[in-house]
Structure 1
Amino acid sequence: MDDQNKNLILATVLSFLVILGWYTFFPPPEPSPQVEPTVTETAATGDTALAPIASGDATSAAQPEEVEAPQAPRVSIDTPRVSGSISLQGGRIDDLALKDYRVSLDDDAEIVKMLSPVGEENAYYALYGWAPSAGLTIADVPGANTIWSAPADATLTPDTPVTLTWDNGNGLIFSRTISVDEDYMFDITQSVQNSSGNAVSLAPYGTLARHGLPSDLKNFFILHEGVVGMADGELDETKYGNMEDYEVDPRDGSYTNVTEVTQDGWIGFTDHFWMSTLIPDAGQAFRSVAKFDENRGIYQTNAVLPTMTVAAGQSAEVTTRLFAGAKEWATIGDYEKAGVSGFIDSIDWGWFFFLTKPIFWLLHNLNQLIGNMGWSIIALTLIIKAILFPLAYKSYVSMAKMKELQPQMEELKKKAGDDRQAIQKGMMELYKKEKVNPAAGCLPILLQIPIFFSLYKVIFVTIELRHAAFFGPFQDLSAPDPTSIMNLFGLLPWGGPEAGTMVALVFIGILPLLLGISMFLQQKLNPAPTDPTQQMIFAWMPWVFMFMLGGFASGLVVYWIANNTITFTQQYLIMRSQGYTPDIFGNIKSGFKRTPKTDKK
């Protein structure tokens, strides 16, 4: 094998390893926290979230009394895509399940639970309230444990909003009207009517709180899980583990980050496929807060709107939104078009967003047209190879010309002996004379590296690939190959070993095996190198990649098999068109014998 081809394959391997290593050891830096000294928070006792308090006389605000109401009445939620209920204790949206998604492919699998109330494992909920300012105390406003009133037998549906009310007994009547659309967006309108005889000042807020880490936390370097927010066009992502890098709030000891948003923004939590987000109206200034109470194990985000002064006999209201559901590209894109600035970036597109976004757009539209994600990935591979074909053509023509020059290069090496400088000089003169660029073959391969990584990112992070079927045993292209030698590659009626285990690594499935074979055949388009060490390395390379990529998402392996097959066909046909016929079977036979074989034309 000539030096150009050896360098080509080595460049591929090294580039792939460099990308994986870089993301592992040098993840994107988290933004520096900004803490606004005028913001004050206080903690509710018991198991409720940290309730924000407005500036002003907040430093003297008393702790709210915990109300024990484990059996508080509830208002049902029923829409085409979600079901659940709202607790009248705090008016919390704390029970929400996604009808379109199940936790596994099993026939009896439960639907995905998005939000859950305090008392259940991994409690996760949204609550709203008013933070008192000058002249009010925390007892004068509704908070995390206020018991609201609601109409009897009320049910929240897309056609029937629900209004909750609470009278503080001192001249302030609070109302909260909650509505929901056909997908995952809630509208929450908070209002206050002041008949106290005096002007009052207070700030509306929304809170998302989760007790402990998510039970399905992946904690993988390629995926962002944790706080996600947009502030005046700037995306902020902080992993759960990195929230401890926030500054410590001296008042409650929590790790806190505060950002003043002047115009457009939102903040919340994102998991692998699900997200909850507090969204003030477009153009609305607010205080975006992310915090972690290590002592109580509560992660929290707040959206605190500016303090409002309500004169005696007057009323005021404000509307914010809550997204709680699946991170579907089309659905989130529609919300962005409806005014949620930068909402599509809540999907973790990564550093190569300029590739991942168009790749997913194309894959999504191909799937809409074909109706099968596996065939859509193969179609995507064909399109990518067609786009890169001009470069590939030049590359393979260069390879063919290099093969034609092989006898002259060998003769040059014999004449120069051990004089490497003379060999290099002679080769450069030969390349110049024959108008051959030895580096021309590297560019298409190097371009494949970011494309491969971007597709890996798309397949791993987007919910559209979750439980996406191909055929037969391949019913989830976001998961590793479920087949194995142990079940005759899916022909026997039982599952293979659990993905990620050593057994699964050893008893690989059919897709990794096809990957190894396709890489092996592609390698055999060229003779084996004469150096025994290099010969051994290149002989093992396809099978090392077979085991290394065998645990990856099966959709990615499908792409890589299709890519190898198309590349093999392109290279073979183009090299033949240039007068060089690769001796594939001869190269395979030579490789087994570990002896060099001369090229044939």
Structure 2
Amino acid sequence: MDDQNKNLILATVLSFAVIMAWTVLFPPEDQPIDIAAEATVSADVSALPGTTTTTSTATAPAEAEVATAPAPRVQIRTADLEGSLSLRGGRIDELSLTQYHETIDPDSEIVQLLRPEGEAGAYYTAFGWAASEGIEAANVPTPDTVWTLESGDILTDQTPVIISWDNGAGQVFRTEISVDDEFMFSFAQSIENNADTAISARPYGLIRRHGIPADLKKFFILHEGLVRMTDGALEETDYKDIQDYDIDPKEGVPAERLEASQSGWVGFTDHYWMTTLIPTQDAPFRSTSKYYESRDLFQAEAVMPVASIAAGQTYTNTTRFFAGAKEWETIKHYEDEEGVGGFLDSIDWGMFFFLTKPIFWLLHTLHGLIGNMGWAIIALTVILKAIVLPLAYKSYVSMARMKELQPEMEKLKEQAGDDRQAMQQGMMKLYKENKVSPASGCLPMLLQIPIFFSLYKVIFVTIELRHTAWIGWINDLSAPDPSSIFNLFGLLPFAVPDLGPLQLLSLGILPIFLGVSMWLQQRLNPAPTDPTQQMIFAWMPWVFMFMLGNFASGLVLYWIANNVITFTQQYLIMRSHGAKPDVFGNIKSSMRRKKKTAAEDDK
């Protein structure tokens, strides 16, 4: 293919990729969920998978309304968390992240992760026991059992609390709840069997989420929903797909059960936040996800094996519960130092994980060295361009040689006239004689596509860029440029209102720089002679400028830096091989062609 057709194909591929991203990033809104219509759910734990009893039949959770009488609460307070746990079920159902705010305004509300049942968007965890042999289902604690506070008056990273429940039938259940200085809770569940005979039961933990989250992003580039690891195999399931599970014959609800032989975890993930049940990593457990349609309730469970407790003996099982921000360093610490296998994969690295993981690591490292995420993105761009420089060098050398052949190509075009086959044959012969490969320029450009989407994934998904400033008006690299051409970038004394679908017309400073940088980069190359290709290339920078105007500022910053570096590399390499790119000459030539075309149209 000649240089012009090569660029046309490249432009088409890039345009198609960006249009696809745009279409999915800005989908039409679904109808809101009527959270007020949700019914409460009872905690009939006999319905847990694998549970058997000697006195009752396993059934699905009852339709009866849960008791709503208030229960005593225990405060939770650490440097990163604040909230409370309810003695009803020992639920952690009120939890906020003190280091994160809803907006960039430091006076805005802090992020609330968990909410008690009865509130809109209820979301909480609870732990209990499922009866097996020698003990009736009514004599094990459920997520609605009201516990007694046995020791401790506030849960901190220095002071655990112990809650207990005596079933009056010879068993005392205790749960010691502790939390570290980040986002990890531990629930040490124990049974003290004071009866004369042995019993058996199985401990479990569950996470309940009432309804699909109202702030679900619905972006193809981001997973939100169930996330779990089972013996090294990662599963990500959207809420809609959970609703479409096959009906479990034991409970009559959509459910999926996986048996982990030695390691794993299960929970729900949002854009930046996550809740996860983490059983002991060297023991088997059952990971289950369910959906109760009548109550619009999603449930994730970690159910441990049946434990036998002899008369006079005590059995203890510990399950961890992560509830917090998906910070890379924090999650990596839990994986590397505390043995949570594959926990870093809870961050949605996507199909290009082999690129997104090292790109984020490098960006994170540069941020640590530089101290500013915007400059770290620019430094990352420089490094990425240096890595692909050998391929780019070949591309720019080929373009320089092709520019030298431009006069001979023009002669071929005149000689061939309308005979396109003769033109192609002549060009291939010319390329062969001069050892020029026009296709060599495609590869480095095509490499930019996975790098671009990988970096976009990193910028969009990772919390480290959330509410992170660069310079001046760019106070959130994960959000679009807040400046607008409609108020002359802040010079006029009024704010630009939300324009809805027309927001793409509200160009900021960075998107304009992006369009100009793409336009200047095009000027390094000879303008195509075909009118259709001229039109495509004339409009492409400005189309990209508008389409990327509402993308994250960090991504637009990367693209600007990439264009500037590419322009510089191409200019210097072409000059070093005898070509003399005339940027301003190309601009003037382009303008003359436009005037000539306009004059011909007037005639």
TM-score, structure 2 normalization: 0.91
Structure 1 range deviating more: 306-315 or 348-357? 306-315
1:447 is matched with 447
Matches within 5 A, 1:566-585: 566-585=565-584
1:482 is matched with 482
1:536 is matched with 535
1:547-575 Cα deviation digits (max 9, x unpaired) = 11111111100000111111111111111
Secondary structure in 1 matching 2:149: coil
Q: Report the Cα distance in structure 2 between the residues aligned to 1:520 and 1:504, rounded to whole angstroms.
A: 23
Change beyond 3 A, Cα 1:48–1:114? farther
- Given residue 82 of structure 1, which amino acid in structure 2 is its aligned partner? L
Matches within 5 A, 1:333-482: 333-337=332-336, 338-482=338-482
1:559 is matched with 558
TM-fit CA distance, 1:492: 4.9
Change beyond 3 A, Cα 1:296–1:329? same
1:303 is the counterpart of 2:296:
no
Q: Report the Cα distance in structure 2 between the residues aligned to 1:83 and 1:477, rounded to whole angstroms.
A: 27
2:53 is matched with 57
2:36 is matched with none
Quote the RMSD (CA, aligned, Å): 2.2
Q: How many residues end up aligned between the 2 structures?
A: 576
Q: Does the CA-based 8 Å contact 2:151-2:162 persist in structure 1?
A: no
1:384-426 Cα deviation digits (max 9, x unpaired) = 1111111111111110100001111222222233333332222
Q: Report the Cα distance in structure 2 between the residues aligned to 1:5 and 1:572, rounded to whole angstroms.
A: 18
Q: Report the Cα distance in structure 2 between the residues aligned to 1:393 and 1:587, rounded to whole angstroms.
A: 22
Structure 1 range deviating more: 53-62 or 295-304? 53-62
Secondary structure in 2 matching 1:385: helix
1:549 is matched with 548
1:259 is the counterpart of 2:258:
yes
Structure 1 range deviating more: 8-17 or 117-126? 8-17
1:76-116 Cα deviation digits (max 9, x unpaired) = 11111101111000000111110110011124211000111
Q: Report the Cα distance in structure 1 between the residues aligned to 2:428 and 2:397, rounded to whole angstroms.
A: 18
- Given residue 301 of structure 1, which amino acid in structure 2 is its aligned partner? A
Show structure 2 runs of 5+ residues with no match: 25-38, 597-603
2:239 is matched with 240
Secondary structure in 2 matching 1:117: coil
TM-fit CA distance, 1:471: 1.4
Structure 1 range deviating more: 412-421 or 454-463? 412-421
- Given residue 548 of structure 2, which amino acid in structure 1 is its aligned partner? L
2:76 is matched with 77
Q: Report the Cα distance in structure 1 between the residues aligned to 2:69 and 2:49, rounded to whole angstroms.
A: 25
- Given residue 285 of structure 1, which amino acid in structure 2 is its aligned partner? P
Secondary structure in 2 matching 1:126: strand
Matches within 5 A, 1:133-282: 133-151=132-150, 154-282=153-281
Q: Report the Cα distance in structure 1 between the residues aligned to 2:44 and 2:445, rounded to whole angstroms.
A: 52
TM-fit CA distance, 1:8: 2.5
TM-fit CA distance, 1:23: 11
Q: Does the CA-based 8 Å contact 1:54-1:131 persist in structure 2?
A: no
1:444-476 Cα deviation digits (max 9, x unpaired) = 100111000000000010000110111122111
1:358-381 Cα deviation digits (max 9, x unpaired) = 000000111111111111111111
Change beyond 3 A, Cα 1:195–1:362? same
Q: Report the Cα distance in structure 1 between the residues aligned to 2:17 and 2:512, rounded to whole angstroms.
A: 25
Q: Report the Cα distance in structure 2 between the residues aligned to 1:559 and 1:378, rounded to whole angstroms.
A: 6
2:9 is matched with 10
Secondary structure in 1 matching 2:148: coil
1:514 is matched with 513
Q: Does the CA-based 8 Å contact 2:286-2:304 persist in structure 1?
A: yes
Change beyond 3 A, Cα 1:49–1:592? farther
Q: Report the Cα distance in structure 2 between the residues aligned to 1:493 and 1:316, rounded to whole angstroms.
A: 68
2:34 is matched with none
Q: Report the Cα distance in structure 1 between the residues aligned to 2:251 and 2:123, rounded to whole angstroms.
A: 21
Q: Report the Cα distance in structure 2 between the residues aligned to 1:456 and 1:261, rounded to whole angstroms.
A: 34
Secondary structure in 2 matching 1:176: strand
Q: Does the CA-based 8 Å contact 2:514-2:560 persist in structure 1?
A: yes
Q: Report the Cα distance in structure 2 between the residues aligned to 1:360 and 1:270, rounded to whole angstroms.
A: 19
TM-fit CA distance, 1:257: 0.5
Q: Does the CA-based 8 Å contact 1:244-1:292 persist in structure 2?
A: yes
Q: Report the Cα distance in structure 1 between the residues aligned to 2:86 and 2:409, rounded to whole angstroms.
A: 80
TM-score, structure 1 normalization: 0.92
Residue 47 (structure 1) aligned to one of 28, 31, 41 = 41
